[in-house]
Amino acid sequence: MNFATHVILLIGNLIISTFASMMTLSSYPELGNFASLIVGGCVFLLGGQIHLIYVLRQTKEDLQARLLALHQDNQVYLDRIEELSHEADSLKEHVNTLDKGDNKEIVNEMRLLQTLLNQVVEKSGKSFSKALKTPKTDDYAQGIEREADEILNVMHYALEDNRIDLYLQPIVSLPSRKTVHYEAYSRVRDDKGEVIFPSQYIKLAEDSGLVSTLDNLLLFRCIQVIRRLGARRPNMRFFCNISSVSLNDKDFFPQFVDFMLDNQELADRLVFEFTQQDVMRQSNDVWQSLGSLGRKGFSFSMDNVDVLNHDIANLAGRYFRYVKIKPDLFLDDKLDIDRRDLKEAYARYEIELIIEKIEQDDMLVEILECGIERGQGYLFGEPVLSSDITSKL
């Protein structure tokens, strides 16, 4: 009840009591003015009591309503607190589960890294010392050896000082040229920060056994990029080359397979790439091990294709989902199959055809006329330091 209502009731009570006093004086003049004032005062007091009782009743009802609302609000808060408590418990359990999973991943990756470091110490050290002990027969040979010594020296300390960088080159959708995947490469830096390209060191690395270490380190760096990428760009895959040296490394290859089997969440991100020559000559033992990865969802790619006489059904059965062909082979006039039919032949076995090493626009025009949907090459982008790419993804 607001203030105006109280004033109106008070005025009304005053009017009624005045009217009662006047009626008493008019009806019973013998009582006199004093008696009429007493009657009017009694009526005023009675009205005041009724007013007070009404106000107290309204106040009581209002207080009860407020208490009921507070009780209801309190019950809502209690229920919400209970829900939050359950959510907190569930979140705690989830965090503990994630911690255990993360710890397992960290342990596995540390084991892989330990293997790499052991290979660095053993292989680079032995190769370096062997190169230094190699006798020099003449001035020409000495010049070559000095160059080899220098490169081995750079590689040795680059491995020790963590100067092996991961580079990524885009694989694009055609004709839009939108990046859909990346291929990973390793690049070695000397102590001055200058990049030494694979053409300068790959033969020495193969002869010394360091190429296996480089492949393994490349894989490890690629996994780190995938971890940082998280759930972003879920359909993007990273192609990681695995050399025949790594496939036949009896120390590393079993650990590599076990590591991948323990990290099946990487299956949707990693594509292991092998040359056609390696695909053709690897033993059944190697393919059985790789098959265990394929059954867990990992997929493979074949590049450096020189001839197109491979069994596509056999490739699909070995979990190959990508084949890369160079433009000179794909556009060769002597090709005994229609280029469009070649793409469809792979597609029937769910293998995606990628034309790699595309470097000229006129070459791209011919490729687009054949309906090719995936391409790679300097025309779309050269390999770039991974940190410059992942920060933008």
Q: What is the 3-state secondary structure (H, E, C) of the chain?
A: CCHHHHHHHHHHHHHHHHHHHHHHHHHCHHHHHHHHHHHHHHHHHHHHHHHHHHHHHHHHHHHHHHHHHHHHHHHHHHHHHHHHHHHHHHHHHHHHHHHHHHHHHHHHHHHHHHHHHHHHHHHHHHHHHHHHHCCCCCHHHHHHHHHHHHHHHHHHHHHHCCCEEEEEEEEEECCCCEEEEEEEEEEEECCCCCEECHHHHHHHHHHHCHHHHHHHHHHHHHHHHHHHHCCCCCCCEEEEECCHHHHCCCCCHHHHHHHHHCCHHHCCCEEEEEEHHHHHHCCHHHHHHHHHHHHCCCEEEEECCCCCCCCHHHHHHCCEEEEEECHHHHCCCCCCCCHHHHHHHHHHCCCEEEECCCCCHHHHHHHHHCCCCEEECCCCCCCEEHHHHHCCC
Residue 326 and residue 217 in one domain: yes
Residue 8 inside a domain? The answer is: yes
State the average pLDDT over residues 222-233: 88
Residue 289 and residue 186 in one domain: yes
Residue 52 inside a domain? The answer is: yes
Residue 284 and residue 349 in one domain: yes
Instruction: State pLDDT tens for residues 157-204.
Output: 777 777 888 999 999 999 999 999 999 998 888 888 888 877 777 777
Residue 155 and residue 304 in one domain: yes
Domain count, the chain: 2
Residue 203 inside a domain? The answer is: yes
Band (97; pLDDT cuts 50, 70, 90): low
Residue 264 sits in a domain of what CATH number?
3.20.20.450
Q: Pick from 53, 80, 107: which residue ends a domain?
A: 80
Share of the chain above pLDDT 90, in %: 34
Residue 264 and residue 359 in one domain: yes
Q: Pick from 37, 60, 80: which residue ends a domain?
A: 80
What is the model's pLDDT at position 251? Answer: 77
Residue 166 and residue 309 in one domain: yes
Task: For residue 177, give its domain range.
Answer: 134-390
Residue 380 inside a domain? The answer is: yes
Residue 324 inside a domain? The answer is: yes
Residue 307 and residue 377 in one domain: yes
Residue 91 inside a domain? The answer is: no
Residue 190 inside a domain? The answer is: yes
Residue 239 and residue 355 in one domain: yes
What is the model's pLDDT at position 129? Answer: 47
Residue 11 and residue 75 in one domain: yes
pLDDT(224) > 70: yes
Residue 242 inside a domain? The answer is: yes
Band (316; pLDDT cuts 50, 70, 90): very high
State the average pLDDT over residues 204-230: 80
Residue 75 and residue 152 in one domain: no
pTM listed for this prediction = 0.66
Q: Which of 3-17, 248-262, 362-376 has the highest mean pLDDT?
A: 362-376
